[in-house]
Structure 1
Amino acid sequence: MKNLKNKLLLKGLLYDGIGMLSSAIPVVGPFLDLAWAPYAAKKMQEMYPSKKGKIASILVFIEEILPFTDIIPTFTLMWIYNFVWKKNQVEDIQYTEVIS
């Protein structure tokens, strides 16, 4: 199960990195956020399908759609909230298919 916890972290870092890349592309970057925001929200909900995951998916959508907020690592913060601050175990997260 620790392997799944690590996969959640790596996936979160990847998604945060992709979200931050759009801010590096002038002019086109904000338009990429329009496509990335719903996808990121969907992935957050898949990774953390609890009520807190739904809230996090709304927050990641807002964070990605608003200008100048791409620097916030929402996926990583959600992982820290779950596994460091709340000290949840992977079994506490009712996931469907995180690895996809």
Structure 2
Amino acid sequence: MKKLKNKLLLKAVIYDGIGMLSSFIPVVGPFLDIAWAPFAAKKMQEMYPSKKGKIASVLVFIEEILPFTDIVPTFTLMWLYYFVWKKNEIEDVAYAEIVS
């Protein structure tokens, strides 16, 4: 189960990295955020299929749509919130991760 937790963290870091990349592309970057925001929200919901995941998916959508907020690592912060601060178990998200 620890392997699955680490896999979720790796996905979080990758998704945050992809979201931050658009801030380094002049002129076109903000338009890429328009396409990335719904995808990021969907992935957040898939990673955390709970009420907290729904809230996080709305937050990541807003964070990606708004200009100059790409630097916020929303996926990684959600992972920290879920597994470090709230100390949830991997079983809570294991089914969703296996399916996706």
When normalised by structure 2's length, the TM-score is 0.95
Q: Indicate conservation of the 8 Å contact 1:48/1:94, yes or no.
A: no
User: Equivalent residue for 1:7?
Assistant: 7
Give the CA deviation at 1:95: 3.7
Question: Once the two structures are superposed, what CA deviation does each residue of 1:78-97 show, in whole Å capped at 9, x if it has no partner?
Answer: 00001100111101336423
User: Equivalent residue for 2:78?
Assistant: 78
When normalised by structure 1's length, the TM-score is 0.95
User: Equivalent residue for 2:51?
Assistant: 51
One-letter identity of the residue aligned with 1:18: I
Q: Indicate conservation of the 8 Å contact 1:47/1:98, yes or no.
A: no
Q: Stretches of 4+ moved more than 3 A in 1?
A: 97-100
Matched, 1:88 2:88: yes
Higher helix share: 2
Sequence identity, in percent?
82
Return 5+ residue gaps in structure 1 as ranges.
none
Q: 1:98 to 1:81 in 2, by over 3 A?
A: farther
User: Equivalent residue for 2:64?
Assistant: 64
Q: Indicate conservation of the 8 Å contact 2:36/2:64, yes or no.
A: yes
Matched residue SS, 1:70:
coil
Q: 1:14 to 1:99 in 2, by over 3 A?
A: farther
